[in-house]
Each structure stands twice: as C-alpha cells, then as structure tokens.
Amino acid sequence: MGDPLVVVAGAGGFIGGHLVAALRAKGRQVRAVDIKPLGEWYQVFDDVENVVADLKLREESRRVCAGAGEVYQLAADMGGMGFIEHHKALCMLSVLTNTHMLMGAVDAGASRFFYSSSACVYAADKQVSADVAPLKESDAYPAMAEDGYGWEKLFSERMCRHFREDFGLPTRMARYHNVYGPHGTWEGGREKAPAAICRKVIHAKHTKDPTIEIWGDGNQTRSFMYIDDCIHGTQAIAKSDILEPINLGSSELVTVNQLVSIVEEIAGIKLKRSYNLSAPKGVNGRNSDNTMIQRELGWEPSIRLRDGMERTYRWIHDEYMRKYGD
C-alpha cells in the first residue's frame, strides 16, 4: 500500500507552496488547495492535484479532505504587520477555515493534522522591550495575544487540542516566527519585513532614490527563519509525538535597522533612513526560545540570516526587474 494522500491547504501561498515542493520531491501524493485562482499561486506543480476551493465553507473543506491521510492546514487570510493591524476581522475569519478543515479531517479519518500557528499568540506584556527574553511556549498564557490575528491563532490551537481529545484526531501545532524567503509576497501590503525591506532597497537603487522609509524607529527586534528551515521543521513536528504547540523559529535576534543594513550590504548601497513613527511596527521585541524543539527533535535552523536574505534579495530583485525594469 502506498503513502497516504497529503492535503496541503494554503498551497498557493508562500509556505504552502514550498511545502508542496518538498513533499512532491519525496514522491508523496499531494492535493494542493488554495482559494486563489491557479494563476495567482506562487508555485504550481503539474504533477500534483491542484484544487481551487474556499475552505471557509464546510462542504468545500470536506471535499478537499476526502481520502486524506495527512492534512497540513496553512490556509489563512493574513500578511505582514501593515495588513494584520488594519484587517483584524478578516484575520479572525480564518477560524472558519480552521474549524471546517478539522471537521473535514475527522470525516476523512486522517491520521495526522498539522496546524500552522504563529508567534503572534504570545502575551503582549512579554514583548514590551527590544531587549526581549526569548519567548517560551508557556509564555502564551495567561493569554493576551496580538489583537485579531493572534487571538485567532490562539483560539485555533485550543480547537486543535480539543479535536484531538474529543474526536481522536492526532493534531500537531507549530508557532511560526517570521518566515521569509523567495516565492512569496514582496509588494502590495501583505508582505512581511524582510521582503518589504528588500523591495524598498531594490526600488531605491533602481530609481536612484537615496532614501528608505522604515516603520517605527528601527530598534524593534525580531528573529527571522528561512523558508527551508521552516519546511524541514514543519515536517518534523507533523511526524512527532509533541502534542502541545511548539516554537518553530530562529533565535538569531536582530533589530530592523540591522536587517536594513544587511540588505544594503547585499545590494552594495547605503541609504538615508526615514523613520515613520506612525506606521504599524508591532511589538518592540520578539525572539524564539528553541529549548523545547532542540530537546525534542534536535532541530536548529541551518541557514544564517545573511545567507537567507541574500537568496531572498536575488529572487525579489529578479521579480522587481521583470515587472518594473526598463
């Protein structure tokens, strides 16, 4: 008997597209699902089953989960800080998708359900300083998640737990910390900081504009995980016996200003920085405590930020020049 069918929801998105690529490279039978028209997917593979469906609808979730042995639920209406701070209701609506995909997986008798949560679940009072202590899994409670998107993620984690307890669906959950890399959003308002900074530096160099706008004062701190490490960690967590949500991120902490400097170095340019203090900037500091995942899975990111940003910059540069180049 062959390997079970794997359903990847959110396959037209950034992380989902890379996950499909990794699964098909292993010879897995994959059903790739997304709400976007196929022409808008970041990666499309002809040798997998590609399905366009609105997973907020229960009947659609049941349809795409039919026959599935494993389900990866990455589908969500989300984006970078500029998007999630101004579209809280849209982000909350992803609860419908998570609910119906869990129900679809139960109906299908799936042997494993993976849910992509987020570091946005962590209590805000743990992230008030740029000199932040790495966030442990236990820091999500007492709960005070990021408004909108963070609460949706935290609620859905609890739902995964109770579907495991009440319906016997084996659920696994990872809290992603700032995933970046090629084949993702780099303009339009949904992009995250690494892609946005790459685009701004590329635009400044192409237009010979010597300035770059930075949201906030640039001293806010973050850790960023390259997509290859994310995909490796995702599959390891999905196969593991870890029942509670677990961090999946890098512990290499940098300021936004330092991230800009890395991209400037890659581009071979130095820009004048303009700080937009009224723009969304998120929490002052956030970093991943990887103690649990190192202990349980021996997992540690393998790609340094400088190396991952160079790969990301080169891809966005080619996309930018294809669209805007002379």
Helix (H, G, I), strand (E, B) or coil at 97: helix
Q: What is the mean pLDDT of the chain?
A: 93
Please name the residues in contact with 78: beta carbons below 8 A apart, sequence gap of 6 or more: 84, 91, 94, 149, 190
Percent of the chain with pLDDT over 70: 96
**Whole-number Å distance between alpha carbons of 104 and 167:** 12
Is the pLDDT at 69 greater than 60? The verdict is yes
* Torsion of the alpha carbons at 230, 173, 148 and 96, rounded to the nearest 10: 110
List, in order of start, the domains of the chain with CATH numbers: 5-179+224-248 (3.40.50.720), 182-223+252-284+305-324 (3.90.25.10)
* AA identity, residue 14: F
pLDDT tens digits, 256-308: 999 999 999 999 999 999 999 987 777 777 889 999 999 999 999 999 999 99
| Active site residue ranges | 149
Residue 64: enclosing H or E segment and its boundaries? helix 58-65
Residue 78: pLDDT band (50, 70, 90) is: low
**Whole-number Å distance between alpha carbons of 187 and 316:** 10
